[in-house]
């Protein structure tokens, strides 16, 4: 049985379980504003967003890919 990884919640000032959501985000990448579907983690106790390094990396990869798509169309 695997144990769920816990993340630190700044608002609760403790480690917590998280759930994941998706949102549309506008992100500045280089000189271009790009729109992507971004996944994020939030505390199950208070609902505040918590940092997840893997999701942060995923966001940068998606923003970079979208940026290059836009640049190819110009």
Q: What is the pLDDT of residues 31-49, one digit of tens each?
A: 999 999 999 999 999 999 9
CATH of the domain spanning 7-73, picked from 2.60.460, 3.40.1440, 3.10.20, 1.10.3470: 3.10.20
Pair 33, 24: CB distance under 8 Å: no
User: Is residue 2 over pLDDT 80?
Assistant: no
The whole-angstrom separation of Cα 74 and Cα 61 is 20
Q: What is the pLDDT of residues 19-28, one digit of tens each?
A: 999 999 999 9
Domain ranges of the chain: 7-73
Dihedrals φ, ψ of 51, to 5°?
-80, 130
pLDDT at 25: 97
């Amino acid at each position: 049985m695997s144990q769920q990884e816990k993340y630190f919640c700044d608002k609760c000032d403790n480690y917590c379980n998280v759930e994941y959501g998706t949102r549309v985000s506008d992100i500045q990448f280089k000189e271009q504003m790009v729109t992507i579907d971004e996944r994020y983690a939030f505390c199950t106790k208070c609902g505040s967003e918590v940092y997840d390094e893997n999701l942060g990396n995923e966001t940068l990869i998606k923003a970079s890919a979208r940026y290059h798509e836009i640049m190819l169309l110009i």
